[in-house]
Amino acid sequence: MSLFHFRPRRSVQRRKFIFLGMFAPAVAPRPANPRPPEPHAHPVPPPANPLQASRTRRIFDAHLHCPSDDGTVWQWHPVTRTFDEFAAYLDRTGVQRGIINSVRSQLAKDAAGFIAGNREVARRAEKSKGRFLPACVVNPLLIDEALREMEDCRRKYGMVWVGELCNYTVPYQYTIKEFELLVEQAVKLNMALDVHTELDEMQYVIEKFPRATLVFPHFGDSNEYRNIFKRIDLIAAHPNTYLDTSGYGHDRVGVLEYAVDKIGPGRILFGSDFSINDPATVIARVEHAFLTEDQRERILAGNLEALLKKVAA
């Protein structure tokens, strides 16, 4: 959920909602037909200060947008403008490792732009001595350059992750032929493909590309309550797909537990969407959730490590 990219309907809705947030008890959307409580025996975690607890945990963030050398940063009001400030904030919240994609590549209007952004994250990842892993972002509307760039990122820079691709920032539809070619290239190069979607887009991509290793950010989408369980159920039904915990719906108590019940503990990845959102809110929800220690550790780092092993093979 890149709150920066104003899909007109959603951002207006969203902003209004946030400002009214303090009246949330009065205006928060009430589920039309609240789910009957399922008699699940969830392990009750010991009372813990989540941020203290997270200090001792391995936390590997699958969803990071890092600022560019040209000063471009994704933040409603920029307070971590440089890469050092970006990394220091992750230190502060207890995030040890992460997959970084370049805001410069996300906003690029030409191939030179997305290539320059990918080179930036490659340099930073190398300098971080493994703390950060670089992700490749391309624009399928420039398909020849995009396919070549994916090949270079995989072969020359060891990148195994494409995205997060946010089609609405460009914009393009995931139904275009060029996107099909991009997915085929990701499958051929054994790279994980991370795409931002609304429910209908998620459904299309999952059904269209069963051989791809697909990562979908966010439990919910802009129709948060209406679609959140349908999105989780879609992931549950397709073993080649993963869901990251960032953004919409991560703070809704019970949603993470539902996701673990349906998907299982192995395909939920810790994701924050930082530098837009604070990783600490996701960490707090995972720490407080009714999960076993093993489930918590797999979500916070283990699952992403296992996925990276799979695509690096």
* 170 backbone φψ class: left, alpha, beta (φ>0; ψ -120 to 50): alpha
Number of residues in the chain: 313
Nearer Cβ to Zn ion, position 62 or 256? 62
* DSSP 8-state code for residue 82: S
Residue 243 DSSP label:
E
- Paired strand residues for 98: 61, 132
Stretch that binds Zn ion, among 2-10, 124-132, 183-191, 198-206 (CB under 5 A): 2-10
CB of 217 to Zn ion, least distance (A): 6
Provide the minimum distance between the beta carbon of 271 and Zn ion in the complex, in angstroms, as a whole number: 8
DSSP string, 157-197: H---EEEEE-GGGTT--TTSHHHHHHHHHHHHTT-EEEE--
DSSP 3-state assignment of 216?
A: strand
Q: How far is the CB of 246 from Zn ion (least distance, A)?
A: 7
CA distance 88 to 248: 25
CB of 10 to Zn ion, least distance (A): 14
Is the Cβ of residue 120 or residue 194 nearer to Zn ion in the bound state? 194
H or E element that contains 134: strand 132-134
> For residues 224 and 273, which CB has a smaller minimum distance to Zn ion in the complex?
273
Helices (H), 21-138: 24-27, 50-54, 83-93, 103-107, 111-127
3 state SS of 58: coil
Q: Shortest distance, CB of residue 78 to Zn ion, whole angstroms? A: 16
Contacts (CB under 5 A) with Zn ion, residues 273-302: 273
Between residues 277 and 303, which has the closer beta carbon with respect to Zn ion?
Answer: 277
Residue 166, amino acid? C
* # residues near Zn ion by CB under 5 A: 3
Q: For Zn ion, which residue of 2, 75, 105, 169 counts as binding (CB under 5 A)? A: 2
Specify the residue, 120 or 164, whose C-beta has the smaller distance to Zn ion: 164
3-state helix, strand, coil in the chain (%, to 5): 50, 10, 40
What's the closest the beta carbon of residue 218 comes to Zn ion, in angstroms? Answer: 8
**Binders of Zn ion in range 131-170 (CB under 5 A):** 164
Which of positions 235-274 make contact with Zn ion (CB under 5 A)? 273
For residues 53 and 221, which CB has a smaller minimum distance to Zn ion in the complex? 221
Q: Contact residues for Zn ion (CB under 5 A)?
A: 2, 164, 273
